[in-house]
């Protein structure tokens, strides 16, 4: 029973209805009209049932009404006249609508009902209290209503504030009336809680997993996937030898194939990795339009020279003509350009037709704004754009975001804006280009943004088939959708506050819908059969299918292994060979905090597998006869070492591996074993229990190479003396006979003790699995010399190093393409900053005093604090400055041109010199006192560069604005120490015309970009505009300013770029006079051309989307 939190306040956030005028409960139609809001769904049935109750005080604690039918379902009223004790309520009335026979209904049944429950006076039906709700009734939630319907004492009182003249309970009687509407659930998910919902089962399709903030990408990918022609084109890109995380094309093919075949939501991690994105990039929301353009540019490049070449252009490219036509003379200037999508205004426009009319609206050039027509002088003219063709697949971007001048901020436009299922665009096509074909388009997809400017959520509504149904793709969930959900619910506009009818509390209060369409996808009716041609088996390339099927099967195997993990245990086996390669404590490293675990042979073992079978497997793996090996279990000793304890006995061969692990009393999840190879000849000696030898392990400390390595195992008798080992060691190590050795016992980390040669092994308390380390004796002088060199003269010192060792990873602070620029070095935590700097300097072959280190943020790996040089600072303090700070073993480094000591009083600067012609000619480094001025920097730079005879001889020092469009000039008096640390600094020679401007001239900012202003490159510069100068002449001066050839300047396009973030560039015709443009702060001239430097810059504001793969 749904008895917890069923009160109306908790269910709907609303109080019982206040009545303006008395309405009789018995006037069913009028009551429902006033108190049951139209929720916008088709009503299958509407029934009203009244239950009269007498002798209220004598009623049972729980009772139900007779059943009644509505919408093919049996219902009843469930009443707790003195409160639902299961919900810990007393002195209240609890009333619910109850599904009468849930157990007798078909499996998977559900009923969507809107209802009102009314408690009323039996003599005056205008005196009542009502509550209403809606619910999806299912087997798990077959009753729904109001636990705190009304306080019991109020039923005996006249509620004058509600306009009542009588109490609800009169003559100890009352009536309960249930108004029930059963609503048609067209999608099958109306008010669904989506617990255990299966998209594939319900819709035949699957969604995409959200990596953090990739819902914008998911919505677009689903739209592209269901553009079947596009999917087929992507499959035609050759990717036989590509790697998924490095190839965008292969990663897209993978996502598309999994969307076709998977039963579960599809991940996009490999796709974003192929973009070159790091994990943090997946938590940044981007603009769908920008992502779409960058992705298609990338794929279009990959398609060149393949069977898919031209597919994107064919699908998405249309043409439009910008024109200026004189009114009184026969003169027209026009330019035709291609487009991939169209940005349409929404604000103040009723529907999509209005937006198109606004887009092609004609501007009149007259009065002071007349057009200078070549050969005709100033003329009245009409200026506008007209479409020459629309593409088969039309992407329309609705401009839901714009810059609000009054607020000085970007805002989202939530105005109502309607779009149709079909739209005829013939009126917007130039008459000469219309032909006889239809320009009718059908809606195929709606990409929706829910939220505000600062964040929100994207989802897509798509109609995958020409005559099919609509579906909602919301990240990993796919559901059916109604036409109302596609259209009405995404127009935007005003909604009422809540879903009650207007009352004195909410009448006239309106809110804007925060959920509305952001991008529309239309398909031309004449092309729809080709664009949405059914996808068949042969459309998937066989090599791709085989490759992805193989990966799917491997993934499925891993999944099954995870699911069956409880049936298995892991066994790690130490061998004599792995011991010889081990440098550290014990026989292998398992769980050291600062050191990676040893690479041991690992077996996945069924817990019910017998020891005999497992031993056979191990022997076969290592090419041994099973009779020639023993397996010893390793145990955790009390002194925190991990050593072999006892061999598993042969009589235990029939034990299961789970029992073997249990018998060892090990607390480890994995079974740790040592493989002891002993041929038949040794078997009698080793198994003589009356005189069983001790198995010890020998390690050698090589002073010259500063290495501690395993040598192997050796069996000794308890009565033997420790010194007897010397002759054996000299023999196996090929030392000259009689070479003096020192023997140490490795008891535990921090306890390495010199052994007494004359003691027996029993007296030394040596047992199976103990470790003895040996060293060739050296003189005291040699030992002192080693210490002075910072080396270890004996195993005790070396073990101390091992106990405190840590592996530190060093990365360049400025990314480069050198694969060897990231490396790792091993240090003792007791070593100091100077030792670290020296070792890094030796590795990089760079003066250590000219290295600067930066710590990392443990949460995201980003650079954190510059590490100050301190002679007494230990490595431990560097990687963990305080007890509460997490340890970080990653440091960034910088190669400096100056010592870090000098940096304390001087400023190291790198200045990019762009000369007179805005070309990056080189970078110059300076080390100047922080008290020097920018003028001093310019003087020093002047001595290092060649100033042009055509220039002014003056130098401007600047950096670049956050959006990459403007210079920010430094004052000549600015102190160098006050310049921002992270900003790149540029310098140029000031042109003569800029230095000698008159009052009429305007100086503007100019920047370089490719297709989109957000994709800027190069260095912005300043340029002087002349009054009355046509752009054809302005362009010549720009050509001279940039020293471009006629061939190069012909590849440039020129546009006025507004400061409003989402306003598209306005491209300039030769006849335009841009001097007449009313430049606002932030308006600039943009040069649209290909970036041949490979140095595309990204502003410090919103991060532009970059796809590298």
The rounded percent of the chain whose pLDDT value lies above 70 is 90
Average pLDDT on 832-854 reads 94
- Cβ contacts of residue 357 below 8 Å, gap of 6+? none
Q: What is the DSSP secondary structure assignment for residue 723, as one 8-state letter?
A: G
The pLDDT, as a whole number, for residue 550 is 87
Write the pLDDT tens digit of every residue in 896-930.
888 888 887 888 888 999 999 999 999 998 889 98
What tokens were used for 525?
């009716």
Average pLDDT on 235-257 reads 85
The pLDDT, as a whole number, for residue 798 is 94
Interaxial angle between packed helices 542-563 and 248-261, expressed in degrees from 0 to 180 and rounded to the nearest 10:
70
The pLDDT, as a whole number, for residue 512 is 64
Identify the CA nearest to 144 among candidates 124, 114, 175.
114
Strand 851-856 and strand 890-895: the pairing is antiparallel
Tell whether the model's pLDDT for residue 1007 goes beyond 80: yes
Tell whether the model's pLDDT for residue 1090 goes beyond 90: no
* Neighbouring C-beta atoms of residue 124, cutoff 10 Å: 17
What tokens were used for 678?
């002993």
Collapsing DSSP states into helix, strand and coil, what is residue 905? coil
Q: Out of 289-303, 741-755, 816-830, 904-918, give the one with best mean pLDDT.
A: 741-755
Tell whether the model's pLDDT for residue 284 goes beyond 50: no
Among 55-64, 245-254, 798-807, the least confident range: 245-254
The pLDDT, as a whole number, for residue 680 is 61
Collapsing DSSP states into helix, strand and coil, what is residue 969? strand
Average pLDDT on 318-343 reads 90
- Cβ contacts of residue 334 below 8 Å, gap of 6+? 321, 322, 323, 324
Residue spans of beta strands (DSSP E) within 1026-1092 = 1053-1057, 1066-1067, 1084-1088
Average pLDDT on 505-515 reads 55
The pLDDT, as a whole number, for residue 89 is 61
Write the pLDDT tens digit of every residue in 422-480.
999 999 999 888 888 899 999 999 999 888 766 678 899 999 999 999 999 998 899 99
The pLDDT, as a whole number, for residue 666 is 64
What tokens were used for 351?
């529907």
Instruction: Answer for the pair 1054, 1068: CB distance below 8 angstroms, yes or no.
Output: yes
The pLDDT, as a whole number, for residue 2 is 43
More confident residue, 369 or 346: 346
The pLDDT, as a whole number, for residue 508 is 40
Average pLDDT on 507-528 reads 80
Collapsing DSSP states into helix, strand and coil, what is residue 232? helix
The pLDDT, as a whole number, for residue 215 is 74
d(CA 947, CA 944): 9
What tokens were used for 758?
């004359």
773 is catalytic: no
pLDDT-derived band at 91 (thresholds 50, 70, 90) equals: confident
Q: Out of 407-421, 537-551, 683-697, 714-728, give the one with best mean pLDDT.
A: 714-728
More confident residue, 1038 or 513: 1038
The rounded percent of the chain whose pLDDT value lies above 90 is 52
The pLDDT, as a whole number, for residue 19 is 44
The pLDDT, as a whole number, for residue 410 is 66
Using H for helix, E for strand and C for coil, what is the string for 647-675?
A: ECCHHHCCCEHHHHHHHCCCCCCCEEEEE
The pLDDT, as a whole number, for residue 868 is 85
| Residue 215 burial (C-beta neighbours within 10 Å; 0-12, 13-18, 19+) | buried
pLDDT-derived band at 1096 (thresholds 50, 70, 90) equals: very low
Strand 1053-1057 and strand 967-969: the pairing is unpaired
Average pLDDT on 1016-1038 reads 93
The pLDDT, as a whole number, for residue 948 is 85
More confident residue, 1091 or 1099: 1091
Identify the CA nearest to 632 among candidates 550, 581, 716, 576.
576
Q: What is the DSSP secondary structure assignment for residue 1075, as one 8-state letter?
A: G
Tell whether the model's pLDDT for residue 222 goes beyond 90: yes
The pLDDT, as a whole number, for residue 665 is 63
The pLDDT, as a whole number, for residue 1107 is 53
Tell whether the model's pLDDT for residue 871 goes beyond 70: yes
Of 112, 127, 150, 215, the active-site residue reads 215
Tell whether the model's pLDDT for residue 495 goes beyond 70: no
Token look-up 């099967």 returns 553
Among 87-91, 384-388, 811-815, the least confident range: 87-91
What tokens were used for 15?
């109080």
Token look-up 């597998």 returns 609
Among 64-68, 233-237, 282-286, 726-730, the least confident range: 282-286
Average pLDDT on 587-613 reads 89
Tell whether the model's pLDDT for residue 228 goes beyond 90: yes
Per-chain mean pLDDT for the chain: 86
The pLDDT, as a whole number, for residue 507 is 39
The pLDDT, as a whole number, for residue 942 is 93
Question: Would the CA dihedral through 969, 895, 278, 1097 be positive or negative?
Answer: positive
Of 28, 192, 457, 843, the active-site residue reads 457
What domains, with CATH codes, occur in the chain?
8-183 (2.60.210.10), 199-313 (3.90.70.10), 318-502+509-531 (3.90.70.10), 565-798 (3.10.20.90), 799-903 (3.10.20.90), 905-1088 (3.10.20.90)
Among 154-158, 511-515, 593-597, 908-912, the least confident range: 511-515
The pLDDT, as a whole number, for residue 247 is 83
The pLDDT, as a whole number, for residue 611 is 93
Average pLDDT on 99-105 reads 88
Write the pLDDT tens digit of every residue in 387-424.
999 999 999 999 887 755 566 566 778 889 999 999 99
Tell whether the model's pLDDT for residue 5 goes beyond 60: no
The pLDDT, as a whole number, for residue 212 is 66
Collapsing DSSP states into helix, strand and coil, what is residue 511? strand
The pLDDT, as a whole number, for residue 456 is 77
The pLDDT, as a whole number, for residue 554 is 87
Instruction: Answer for the pair 457, 514: CB distance below 8 angstroms, yes or no.
Output: no
The pLDDT, as a whole number, for residue 715 is 93
Collapsing DSSP states into helix, strand and coil, what is residue 842? helix
User: At CA 898, angle to CA 897 and CA 904, rounded to 5?
Assistant: 140
d(CA 44, CA 548): 47
Strand 174-183 and strand 377-379: the pairing is unpaired
| Residue 796 burial (C-beta neighbours within 10 Å; 0-12, 13-18, 19+) | middle
d(CA 26, CA 17): 17
433 is catalytic: no
Give kind and range of the element (H or E) at residue 617: helix 611-621
């Amino acid at each position: 029973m749904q008895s917890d939190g069923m009160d109306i306040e908790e269910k709907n956030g609303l109080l019982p209805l206040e009545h303006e005028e008395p309405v009789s409960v018995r006037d069913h139609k009028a009551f429902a009209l006033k108190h049951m809001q139209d929720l916008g769904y088709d009503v299958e049935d509407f029934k009203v049932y009244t239950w009269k109750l007498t002798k209220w005080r004598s009623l049972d604690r729980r009772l139900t009404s007779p059943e009644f039918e509505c919408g093919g379902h049996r219902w009843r009223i469930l009443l707790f006249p003195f409160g639902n004790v299961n919900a810990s309520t007393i002195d209240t009335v609890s009333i619910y609508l109850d599904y009468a026979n849930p157990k007798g209904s078909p499996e998977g049944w559900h009923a969507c009902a809107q209802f009102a429950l009314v408690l009323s006076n039996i003599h005056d039906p205008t005196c009542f209290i009502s509550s209403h709700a809606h619910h999806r009734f299912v087997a798990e939630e077959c009753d729904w209503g109001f636990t705190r319907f009304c306080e019991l004492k109020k039923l005996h009182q006249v509620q004058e504030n509600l306009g009542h003249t009588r109490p609800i309970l009169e003559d100890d009687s009352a009536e309960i009336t249930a108004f029930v509407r059963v609503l048609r659930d067209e999608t099958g998910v109306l008010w669904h809680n989506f617990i255990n919902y299966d998209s594939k089962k319900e819709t035949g399709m699957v969604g995409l997993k959200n990596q953090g903030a990739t819902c914008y990408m998911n919505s677009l990918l689903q739209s592209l996937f269901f553009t079947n022609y596009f999917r087929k084109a992507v499959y035609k890109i050759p990717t036989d030898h590509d790697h998924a995380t490095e190839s965008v094309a292969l990663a897209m093919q993978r996502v598309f194939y999994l969307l076709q075949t998977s039963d579960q939501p599809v991940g996009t991690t490999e796709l974003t990795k192929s973009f070159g994105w790091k994990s943090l990039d997946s938590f940044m929301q981007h603009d769908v339009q920008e992502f779409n353009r960058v992705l298609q540019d990338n794929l279009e490049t990959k398609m060149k020279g393949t069977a898919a070449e031209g597919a994107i252009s064919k699908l998405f490219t249309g043409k439009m003509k910008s024109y200026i036509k004189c009114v009184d003379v026969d003169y027209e200037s026009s330019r035709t350009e291609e487009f991939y999508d169209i940005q349409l205004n929404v604000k103040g426009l009723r529907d999509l037709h209005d937006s198109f009319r606004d887009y092609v609206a004609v501007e009149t050039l007259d009065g002071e704004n007349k057009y200078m027509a070549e050969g005709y002088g100033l003329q009245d003219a009409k200026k506008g754009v007209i479409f020459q063709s629309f593409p088969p697949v039309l992407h329309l971007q609705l401009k839901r975001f714009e810059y609000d001048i009054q607020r000085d901020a970007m805002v989202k436009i939530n105005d109502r804006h309607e779009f149709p299922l079909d739209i005829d665009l013939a009126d917007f096509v130039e008459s000469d280009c219309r032909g006889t074909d239809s320009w009718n388009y059908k809606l195929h997809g709606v990409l929706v943004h829910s939220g505000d400017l600062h964040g929100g959520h994207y989802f897509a509504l798509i109609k995958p088939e020409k005559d099919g149904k609509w579906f909602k793709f919301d990240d990993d969930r796919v559901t059916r959708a109604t036409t109302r959900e596609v259209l009405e619910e995404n127009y935007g506009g005003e909604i009422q506050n809540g879903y009650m009818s207007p009352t004195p509390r909410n009448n006239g209060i309106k809110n804007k819908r925060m959920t509305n369409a952001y991008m529309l996808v239309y398909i031309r009716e004449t092309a729809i059969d080709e664009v949405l041609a059914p996808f068949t088996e042969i459309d998937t390339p066989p090599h791709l299918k085989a490759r992805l099927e193989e990966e799917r099967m491997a993934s499925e195997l891993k999944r099954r292994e995870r699911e069956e993990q409880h049936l298995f245990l892991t066994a790690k086996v130490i061998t004599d060979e792995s011991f010889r390669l081990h440098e550290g404590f014990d026989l292998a490293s398992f769980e050291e905090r600062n050191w990676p675990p040893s690479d041991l042979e690992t077996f996945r073992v069924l817990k019910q597998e017998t020891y005999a079978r497992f031993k056979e497997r191990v022997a076969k793996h290592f090419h041994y006869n099973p009779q020639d090996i023993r397996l010893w279990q390793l145990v955790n000793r009390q002194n925190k070492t991990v050593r072999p304890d006892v061999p598993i006995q042969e009589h235990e061969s029939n034990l299961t591996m789970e029992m073997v692990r249990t018998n060892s009393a090990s607390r480890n999840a994995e079974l740790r074993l040592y493989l002891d190879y002993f041929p038949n000849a040794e078997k009698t000696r080793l198994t003589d229990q009356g005189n069983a030898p001790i198995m010890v392990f020998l390690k050698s400390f090589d002073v010259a190479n500063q290495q501690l390595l395993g040598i192997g195992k050796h069996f000794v008798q308890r009565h033997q003396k420790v010194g007897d080992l010397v002759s054996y060691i000299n023999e196996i190590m090929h030392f000259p006979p009689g070479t003096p050795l020192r023997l140490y016992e490795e008891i535990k980390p921090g306890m390495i003790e010199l052994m007494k040669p004359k003691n027996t092994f029993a007296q030394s308390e040596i047992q199976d699995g103990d470790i003895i380390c040996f060293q060739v004796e050296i003189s005291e002088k040699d030992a002192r010399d080693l210490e002075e060199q910072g080396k270890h003269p004996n195993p005790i010192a070396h073990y101390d190093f091992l106990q405190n060792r840590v592996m530190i990873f060093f990365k360049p602070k400025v990314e480069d393409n050198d694969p060897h620029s990231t490396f790792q070095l091993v240090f003792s935590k007791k070593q100091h900053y100077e030792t670290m700097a020296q070792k890094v300097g030796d590795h990089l072959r760079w003066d250590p005093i000219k290295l600067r280190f930066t710590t990392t943020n443990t949460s995201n790996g980003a650079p954190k604090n510059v590490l100050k040089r301190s002679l007494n600072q230990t490595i431990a303090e560097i990687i963990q400055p305080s007890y509460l700070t997490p340890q970080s073993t990653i440091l960034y480094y910088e190669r400096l041109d100056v010592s870090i000591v000098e940096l304390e009083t001087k400023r190291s600067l790198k200045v990019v010199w762009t000369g007179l012609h805005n070309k990056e000619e080189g970078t110059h480094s300076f080390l100047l006192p922080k008290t020097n001025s920018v003028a001093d920097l310019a003087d020093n730079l002047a001595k290092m560069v060649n100033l042009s005879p055509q220039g002014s001889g003056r130098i401007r020092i600047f950096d670049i604005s956050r959006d990459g469009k403007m210079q920010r000039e430094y004052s000549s008096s600015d102190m160098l120490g006050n310049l921002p640390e992270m900003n790149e600094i540029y310098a140029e020679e000031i042109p003569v015309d800029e230095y000698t401007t008159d009052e009429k001239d305007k100086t503007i900012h100019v920047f370089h970009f490719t297709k989109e202003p957000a994709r800027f490159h190069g260095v912005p510069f300043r340029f002087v505009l002349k009054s009355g100068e046509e752009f054809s002449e302005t362009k010549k001066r720009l050509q001279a300013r940039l020293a471009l050839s006629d061939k190069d300047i012909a590849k440039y396009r020129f546009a006025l770029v507004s400061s409003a973030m989402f306003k598209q560039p306005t491209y300039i015709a030769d006849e335009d006079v841009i001097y007449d443009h009313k430049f606002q702060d932030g308006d600039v001239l943009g040069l649209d051309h290909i970036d041949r430097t490979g140095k595309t810059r990204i502003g410090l504001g919103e991060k532009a989307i970059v796809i590298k793969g």
